Amino acid sequence: LNHLEENVPLGNKMLFQELLNQYISTPWGATGSSTPNELLWDLETAVNKLIMQVDDERALRSQRQRIFS
């Protein structure tokens, strides 16, 4: 999981921790994951979505700054 956390933008470490806790405290069956590996895959997917979301927001922000400056 450490390699996942390294990729999470700093401002989103809390959100990552929340995601992690959510996955850890969820029984296997409840997430649709039947194995620990599938659960890890789900977590990785969630983290990657989070990273893309943050990147998108950053891109939008810098676009706005260019437009309004």
pLDDT digit string (tens) for 25-65?
766 545 555 666 777 777 778 778 877 887 788 888 888 88
What is the reported pLDDT for 48?
Answer: 80
What is the reported pLDDT for 66?
Answer: 82
What is the reported pLDDT for 3?
Answer: 66
pLDDT at 1 over 70: no
Q: Tell if the pTM clears 0.75, that is, is over it.
A: no
Domain ranges across the chain? 10-25+35-40+48-68
Q: Compute CA distances 63 → 11, 45, 48, 50, 67, whole Å.
A: 20, 27, 22, 20, 6
Contact 19, 46 (CB under 8 A): yes
